[in-house]
Amino acid sequence: MTKTILLADAGYDAAAAALAADYPELNIIAPDAGDDAKALASSAVIGLIADTATVDAALLEALPNLQAVLKLGRSYFNIDVEAVRQRGLSFGCVPRKGPNCVAELAMTLILSLSKDIIVSNEAVALGAYRYRGLKPELTAERKIAFHWMRNSRVHEVVGKTLGIIGMGEIGCELARRASVMGMRNLYYKRSRLSAELEGVFDATYAELDDLLRQSDYVCIATPHTAATERMIGAEQIALMKASAYIVNIARGGIVDEEALIEALQTDRIAGAGLDVFTYEPLPADSPLCSLDNVILCPHIGGGTGSNRNIELGAALAEMSRLLAN
């Protein structure tokens, strides 16, 4: 007997068609662009999968035989969890590929900055020991040239404060990783998360200025809109600690690049990890290219690219599991 699954978001119809043969036990209803999930609701639907579409009491009421709700992504801000629980429905989340990839890069940049990785790599590759009166010697268990570069920027991230600007799926995935590393998470978002979600992601809300003042790392993970254009400029950077770092894995236009360059050149902040820029590729004559306190990436945060087949496939596999219980 086939089980009818409704996708609450449009845009997954091609992925659903591609995956249909892999899940013959599921009848997947995928809305076309402009379709409303409620209009496709029926008593036949027993599973509901949502990405960013709102799942509220009205939609749930239109699905009288619903057994399970599944969120694509771990931040279930768009789900009326109280209504789901009152119905006694199974409820779960599956991570999305795209946000995971970007969060991985953000964490990589944070860890790399903490080890002054650019200077460290160049010091070894260029034989900088020669300028420190050192010479290579055979090592043994208790005979090593520990920290021979004496990099002043090397530190540990445990106990440091990470400020995340934008707490969508990427920000939430980053908070999970930072928490495991022993970091304290602050976040700023136009619409504050529920207390439940703040607990899930071990993150505390802070107004933007407070976040900038307290954070050892400031990670920008908010969409680039008219409202966020150059939201981090000279005034905001001036609030940061001199020992703090900026990590931008969102869009270049959210940061005033000229103000950032000046802050990096004058050691107003300690450094930056950048995957995105005002102009891409980053122009070869950009001052950023000559700074040793910056890690530059060629917009690789998305990894191998978003793949709705992979994301929906993971959701369908989890839905099958939920409905089997």
- What residues are labeled active site? 251, 280, 299
The two tokens of residue 16 are 């659903």
Tell me the HSE value of 308 on the side-chain side, using a 13 A CA sphere.
14
- Return d(Cα 247, Cα 116) in angstroms, integer: 14
The answer to whether 167 and 202 are in contact (CB under 8 A) is no
| 325 Cβ contact partners less than 8 Å away, ≥ 6 residues apart | 90
The whole-angstrom distance between residue 194's C-alpha and the CA centroid of its chain comes to 18
- Return d(Cα 235, Cα 241) in angstroms, integer: 13
The two tokens of residue 121 are 């790599």
CA distances from 74 to 7, 200, 232 (A): 17, 9, 27
| 105 Cβ contact partners less than 8 Å away, ≥ 6 residues apart | 249, 275, 297, 300, 301, 303
Give the residue among 155, 105, 112 at the shortest CA–CA distance from 275. 105
Q: What is the DSSP string of 177-232?
A: HHHHTTPEEEEE-SSPPPHHHHHHTTEEE--HHHHHHH-SEEEE-S---TTTTT-B
- Which contiguous run of DSSP H or E holds residue 29? strand 26-29
